[in-house]
Amino acid sequence: MAFRSFAIRTFGCQMNVHDSDKLANLLLHAGYAAAEPDDADVLVVNTCSIREKAEHKLYSDLGLLRRWKAAREGRLIGVGGCVAQQEGDALLARFPQLDFVFGTHNLRHVPAMVRAAEAGQRSADVSTSRSLDRFDLPERHPQFEASTPGRAFLTVMEGCDMFCTFCIVPTTRGREVSRPADAIVCEAEDLAARGVVELVLLGQTVNAYGRHDVRRGHASSNGTMRFSALLARLAAIPGIERIRYTSPHPLFFDEALVAAHGDLAPLCPHVHLPVQSGSDAVLARMRRRYTGDDVRRLAESLRRARPGLVLTTDLIVGFPGETDAEFEATLRLVRDAGFVDAFSFKYSPRPGTPAAGLPDAVAEEVAQARLEALQAQVRAQTLAYHRSRVGGEADVLIEGRSRRAQQLAGRDPWHRVVNVAAEHFPDVAPGQIVRVRIAEATPHSLIGEPDASAGAHPGSRNLPVASVPESGFASGAVAIRR
């Protein structure tokens, strides 16, 4: 019996979202069609284990999926991602409804595992390797639908050698491996030829790209280079108007990377810089290898290189032993570095990490109160920044309709969500860039309107300017590019 359709449920980070895209592309090439979960024959759950909550969600989901599987004969369930990497065979033993389990290095083997499952063979493959084979994937299938037209993720490196004490990623994703620059540029050129205008470069420590090769003098033989040099190559590709990268580690910002933010016009004036804490003592216990002042200096250098650059971050509160004074150091750093937004979480121990064995757990109610205080400060900083943008211009990459269907929603170069009334842009489709004037600030987003006569936002100096309206524009005042 041949199975014909698949659906993928994704949890976790952008790396996982991108892995799901790669998997969908592989299954399309193998002759399967994409479907909604209710209609699919094969359901793949791509898991995350960065937080305890995400892992528990998988287990409760697998319970519910038993009914999904029973509803149609011959349905298959597969699990991939970080939980699969950690648990391997144990998942098959624990959940009889599971048919296959694949690790983070084994996406390419999934079509064969599905076929084996169709023939009644349950299997798990969580083998790891440092080989570059895992990056050899087919080009986009004609039926592949990008979640955001105009934008594409592009893996430049995988894995992590940093071993922060709270993090399971080095175990689930393996050691750092960087792709040869030529392969990355080739993929980027192909994406640009298919209408992609924004590249989001991915890696667990993306700005560590090529560092081992550069340090050992092996960069030219292995085809890698400094991250800043890779950015320069990608910025030169015709059609690529925006480049972002995530997630960088504060330690790997060398002078050339900071300077690139001033020199390369397509490099967006936004850096998501995970700092985790502002306390030097907590940072040492986390083994982050920088101090709060290192972050302050880096923030200043980046803004000097690119005035108006926006910084956002990730923060953990309630790390073992965190005192009130150490938490206040985090509040101070958030203020001093001027973070515009943050993902913030209460620490949750991950089995298998050194921090899971640390004494002096912070009481739940204390961690909750700290989280609320931190989020209140971040909200205030976000709103203040949004208000500072009113009256300026922004080029918005339209992603789709916002929850209220009469609005189009997109992101500006500073990675802020901008909503615009759809009636003003009747001919605009997702994937197009429109220039708007920021008319209003809300706590979560900006409201744009079609007015090209507004003064430029300070950070927009390096952006290409669409000054001459061309035919086909929705209105004379709105420049739609590409």
Residues that bind ligand SF4 (CB under 6 A): 160, 162-164, 167, 169-170, 204-205, 249
**Quick one: 356 or 383, whose CB is closer to ligand SF4?**
356
Q: Is 259 exposed, middle or buried (0-12, 13-18, 19+ CB in 10 A)?
A: middle
Rounded to a whole number of angstroms, the minimum distance from the CB of residue 446 to ligand SF4 is 30
**Quick one: 248 or 292, whose CB is closer to ligand SF4?**
248
CA dist 415 and 200 (Å) reads 12
Question: What secondary structure letter does DSSP report for 193?
Answer: H
CA dist 290 and 222 (Å) reads 29
Sign of CA dihedral 28, 31, 34, 36: negative
Rounded to a whole number of angstroms, the minimum distance from the CB of residue 167 to ligand SF4 is 3
**Quick one: 99 or 176, whose CB is closer to ligand SF4?**
176
**Quick one: 204 or 224, whose CB is closer to ligand SF4?**
204
Rounded to a whole number of angstroms, the minimum distance from the CB of residue 262 to ligand SF4 is 26
Rounded to a whole number of angstroms, the minimum distance from the CB of residue 55 to ligand SF4 is 16
Cβ 184 vs Cβ 228: under 8 Å: no
Sheet of strand 5-10: strand arrangement:
33-34, 5-10, 42-47, 76-80, 100-102, 123-125
Rounded to a whole number of angstroms, the minimum distance from the CB of residue 204 to ligand SF4 is 4
Question: What secondary structure letter does DSSP report for 139?
Answer: P
Coil, helix or strand for 168?
Answer: coil
**Quick one: 249 or 416, whose CB is closer to ligand SF4?**
249
CA dist 31 and 54 (Å) reads 31
Rounded to a whole number of angstroms, the minimum distance from the CB of residue 412 to ligand SF4 is 27
- Based on its alpha-carbon atoms, the radius of gyration of the chain, rounded to whole angstroms, reads 23
Question: What secondary structure letter does DSSP report for 74?
Answer: T
CA dist 319 and 321 (Å) reads 6
**Quick one: 150 or 174, whose CB is closer to ligand SF4?**
174
CA dist 352 and 170 (Å) reads 11
Rounded to a whole number of angstroms, the minimum distance from the CB of residue 45 to ligand SF4 is 22
**Quick one: 164 or 177, whose CB is closer to ligand SF4?**
164
